[in-house]
Amino acid sequence: MNNRPISHDWFQRASAITPGGVNSPVRAFRGVGGEPFFVARAEGSRLWDVDGNEYIDYVLSWGPMILGHAHPEVIRAVSEAARLGTSYGAPTPAEVELAELVREFVPSMQMLRFVNSGTEATMTAIRIARGFTGRELILKFEGCYHGHGDSFLVKAGSGVATLGLPNSPGVPTDLSKLTLTAPFNDVEALEKLFAAWPGQIAAVIVEPVVGNGGFIPPDPAFLPALREITTRDGALLIFDEVMTGFRVSRGGAQERFGIEPDLTTLGKVIGGGLPVGAYGGREEIMRQVAPVGPIYQAGTLSGNPLAMAAGLTQLRILRDTDPYAELEARTRRLLDGLTRVIGDAGFPVTGGSLGSMWGIFFSENPVRSFAEAQQSDVARFRAFFHACLDRGVFFAPSAFEAGFLSTAHGDRDIDETLNRAEDAVRTLV
């Protein structure tokens, strides 16, 4: 904290007016101890705090900044849009253009609608699944986080896991009874739940690659089994691609693994750093949404012109430059380097990456489920996090969050990160 006195003052002031001093729990650093730094500005791969410290940023606003911070073309598009007005509450061409572009990337989203966050997208997706199937149960996986909607705060990941809160007070018991849970990557448990509740599960919702319980990839058989079981039973399959969308490949996890879900939820990247989410899927399902169908969802700021401008620009750049092979290779280099540096120092470590999403656990064995993630050495992660932060490398402040990489992260960033991590790891016991 010594080198962040101004952040400390802001944190004191923030804590007096906002719970935990932050507007989203994981940011408070409770998962790693200490106090968060307050950001002054960001550019490319770097962040600067109000004390003037510089960090190589692997949080990237928790995913959306795939082109790095303050990309000049995105900033120009947002500035130009702002001059034309910041919100109309009436349709604009940019909404149509962005929707068409999203569908080009993710063709299973035959129709889609924009909302303001991933949470709104997932809340709506299960409402649609329930309305479409006439069933009430939903099934999610332990450690997966689908935003803070009531139905999802059951054995959830992200901040819920970071703070060790199994469930949240305020969620009606009768509602949480409608949420069934199974361990990620456990097909047998899934089969058992479908056998116990035949024809009653409206949807299975999944992070196809878990990012909110730390980075946990699916076993090769897992997603195909999900598709097969849901189709057989008449339940919908919802891929929550808020983290994986435009990240693990151009068309998200569904493209990477060749599985077509019925509904998809997106967020983060499609807003280029402004608040946007989207849900969409098969046309016959989406035509149930008001005003065409009876399932209601609405939002004054949905399709906000600034967010559409940022999203359109970011996605157009991704389409035109196709940086995916390079991003993936560089992310792999970072991951291999980190696991080598930590392993060479004698600490058990495991990790993985897909596209530009990655993660490590201080664990002897590969991590396939949230229960296994919880068995990793969280105390050592905390020490590593702080040692890296003190050396100007910002990893997610929780053992249960994925990391990201942007096109602005060059080899120099990776080299610097690995040198600093090597130095940081020497401080661990």
Q: Which residues bind ligand HOZ (CB under 6 A)?
A: 24, 26-27, 62, 145, 158-159, 212, 401
Which CB atom, from 62 or from 324, has the smaller least distance to ligand HOZ?
62
Q: Least separation, in Å, of the C-beta of 147 and ligand HOZ?
A: 8
State the catalytic residue, choosing from 55, 58, 145, 324. 145
Long-range contacts of 84-92 (CB under 8 A, 24+ apart): 84/305, 85/305, 86/304, 86/305, 86/306, 87/300, 87/301, 87/304, 87/305, 88/305, 89/300, 91/303, 92/303, 92/305, 92/308
Please give the Cα distance from 171 to 109 (Å, whole number).
Answer: 30
Which CB atom, from 146 or from 420, has the smaller least distance to ligand HOZ?
146
State the catalytic residue, choosing from 240, 262, 377, 413. 240
Please give the Cα distance from 154 to 382 (Å, whole number).
Answer: 25
Which CB atom, from 240 or from 262, has the smaller least distance to ligand HOZ?
240
Q: Which of 418, 135, 158, 111 is nearest to 285 (CA)?
A: 111
User: Do the strands 54-57 and 46-49 form a parallel or antiparallel pair, or are they unpaired?
Assistant: antiparallel
240 among known catalytic residues? yes
Please give the Cα distance from 239 to 182 (Å, whole number).
Answer: 16
Q: Least separation, in Å, of the C-beta of 273 and ligand HOZ?
A: 12
Retrieve residue 9's tokens: 């003052």
Which CB atom, from 26 or from 225, has the smaller least distance to ligand HOZ?
26
Which CB atom, from 240 or from 255, has the smaller least distance to ligand HOZ?
240
CB 168 within 8 A of CB 160: yes
Q: Which residue is nearest to ligand HOZ (CB)?
A: 24
Q: Least separation, in Å, of the C-beta of 249 and ligand HOZ?
A: 20
Q: Which helix (H) or strand (E) holds 394?
A: strand 393-394
Residues 6 or more apart whose CB falls under 8 angstroms from that of 57 comprise 42, 45, 46, 47, 69, 394
Which CB atom, from 248 or from 414, has the smaller least distance to ligand HOZ?
248
Q: Which of 400, 329, 415 is nearest to 423 (CA)?
A: 415
Helix, strand and coil content of the chain, in percent to the nearest 5, comes to 40, 15, 40
Q: Least separation, in Å, of the C-beta of 105 and ligand HOZ?
A: 22
CB atoms within 10 A of CB 109: 28
Which CB atom, from 272 or from 305, has the smaller least distance to ligand HOZ?
272
Q: What is the phi/psi pair of residue 302, to 5°?
A: -60, 135
Q: Least separation, in Å, of the C-beta of 145 and ligand HOZ?
A: 6
268 among known catalytic residues? yes
Which CB atom, from 27 or from 282, has the smaller least distance to ligand HOZ?
27
Q: Which of 357, 361, 382 is nearest to 370 (CA)?
A: 361
Q: Least separation, in Å, of the C-beta of 125 and ligand HOZ?
A: 17
Identify the residue whose tokens are 């689908």. Answer: 146
Please give the Cα distance from 31 to 399 (Å, whole number).
Answer: 7
Please give the Cα distance from 108 to 201 (Å, whole number).
Answer: 22
State the catalytic residue, choosing from 268, 279, 377, 413. 268
Q: Least separation, in Å, of the C-beta of 400 and ligand HOZ?
A: 9
Q: Least separation, in Å, of the C-beta of 418 and ligand HOZ?
A: 25
Please give the Cα distance from 411 to 330 (Å, whole number).
Answer: 7
Question: Catalytic amino acids?
Answer: 145, 240, 268
